[in-house]
Amino acid sequence: MIIAVDADSADAVEAEHVLHGLLESATGPVVACTHVVPGGHLAVSISTSAAFDQTALTQEVGSAIIRAGAAEPEVAGPSQLVRGAYVAAVETALGTAGRLVAFPGQENAHGTLTAADLRDRCGIDQVEALGGLTVEDSTLIDTRGFIRPIRRNGQVVLLVQPAAGGVLIPFEVEHQIKCCANH
């Protein structure tokens, strides 16, 4: 089942707050993502084979639920938000986009690992370095205890960048500072 919600979140922090609230109603393993939707805001999605308590969905959000074998998603909420939820649900179903917040293997992303280890242990399909750097199986990535991969073309991709000491680090850091936050 895929549950997608558009609460008109302005940024990743707001979207993740919504997502963590929804995760409290999910049981079992999940894949949870944020999605940029038309209008420039973010929606969220959860993919799970376990039960989900739909009472967590309020009337103030747009929602789209795709159940296995269903011909169409179930949608509810204000029309301007249903569209964003629908986009997030479809992206999740197809695996074409989304920024992963929770996923199987995430708990194994600690310490310095090789690119091959990240693929084998952490559910990562591809490690991609910014700036066209080559990533070999033996390339070291200092996870700093946090990875936030993306979905692209049906794959889970971890974006990395160069750091001191000849290692690579995840492009997205755990504690982000909003652009222009200090002026």
Q: Which residues pair with 162 in a beta bridge?
A: 168
| Residues 18, 75 within the same domain | yes
Question: What's the predicted TM-score (pTM) here?
Answer: 0.86
| Residues 9, 97 within the same domain | yes
pLDDT at 147: 95
Q: Of 60, 79, 102, which residue constitutes the final position of a domain? A: 102
pLDDT at 75: 93
Compute the distance between CA of residue 170 and CA of residue 124 in angstroms, rounded to an integer. 12
pLDDT at 51: 67
Q: Of 102, 127, 147, which residue constitutes the final position of a domain? A: 102
Report the candidate in 5, 33, 37, 154 with the shortest Cα–Cα distance to residue 99: 33
- Asked whether the beta carbons of 33 and 45 are under 8 A apart, the reply is yes
Residue 145 is part of which domain span? Answer: 106-170
| Residues 156, 144 within the same domain | yes
Strands 74-76 and 112-114, bridge-based pairing = unpaired
End-to-end CA distance of the chain: 43
- Which residue type is seen at 159? L
- Number of domains the chain is built from: 2
Enter the tokens of residue 93: 């179903």
| Residues 32, 89 within the same domain | yes
Report the candidate in 36, 40, 25, 88 with the shortest Cα–Cα distance to residue 62: 88
pLDDT averaged over 10-residue windows placed end to end, the chain, 183 residues: 93 91 83 92 91 69 89 88 94 94 93 96 95 92 94 95 91 70 52
| Residues 23, 50 within the same domain | yes
Report the candidate in 53, 58, 61 with the shortest Cα–Cα distance to residue 8: 61
Residue 175 lies in a domain: no
| Residues 54, 131 within the same domain | no
pLDDT at 95: 92
